[in-house]
Structure 1
């Protein structure tokens, strides 16, 4: 199942700088791990914001839920999830 996920991050400004750096580093490592596993298939930055647009390929909504909750920055995120399906006019659908 494919899901479009927007993540808007708002780390508190008064968070200890060392803790902030640690969270960002572990978040990056987790994102790389999920991309290498083929689960996090697209990751784009939203220009001018601490946000991203991503596409996840998972077996279920429950699996996506588990993944999102495993992200180190999740407590500081506003997340919007949209389930995706193929479009009948998509060239990939026409080509079979």
Structure 2
């Protein structure tokens, strides 16, 4: 199942810089591992914002929830999720 996910990150201004840096590094490591596994298909930054648009390829809504909710920055995110399905006018026969 494919999901379009928008994640807006809002770290507290009072968070110590070293804590924010450590969270971001751990987040990056996890995100890159999920991309390598094929679960996190696409990751696009939204220009001028601390936000991204991502496409996840997971077996269920529960798996998506588990992946997202275990990200280190999850407590600081506002998340919007849209399930995706093939459009009948698409010229592509697969998701490659």
Q: TM-score, normalised by structure 1?
A: 0.95
Q: TM-score, normalised by structure 2?
A: 0.95
Give the number of aligned pairs: 93
Shift, 1:16, TM fit: 1.1
Partner in structure 1 of residue 35 of structure 2: 35
Partner in structure 2 of residue 47 of structure 1: 47
Q: What is the distance in 1 between the residues matched to 2:32 and 2:55? A: 14
- Give the unaligned 5+ runs of structure 2: none
1:36-90 CA distances to partner (integer Å, 9 max, x unpaired)? Answer: 0000000000000000000000000000000001100000000000000000000
Runs of 4+ deviating beyond 2 Å: none
Q: What is the distance in 1 between the residues matched to 2:49 and 2:18? A: 22
Shift, 1:17, TM fit: 1.1
Instruction: Write out aligned runs for 1:14-29 (5 A).
Output: 14-29=14-29
Partner in structure 2 of residue 10 of structure 1: 10
Q: What is the distance in 2 between the residues matched to 1:51 and 1:91? A: 30
Partner in structure 2 of residue 63 of structure 1: 63
Root-mean-square deviation (CA), in Å?
0.5
Match of 1:91, SS?
coil
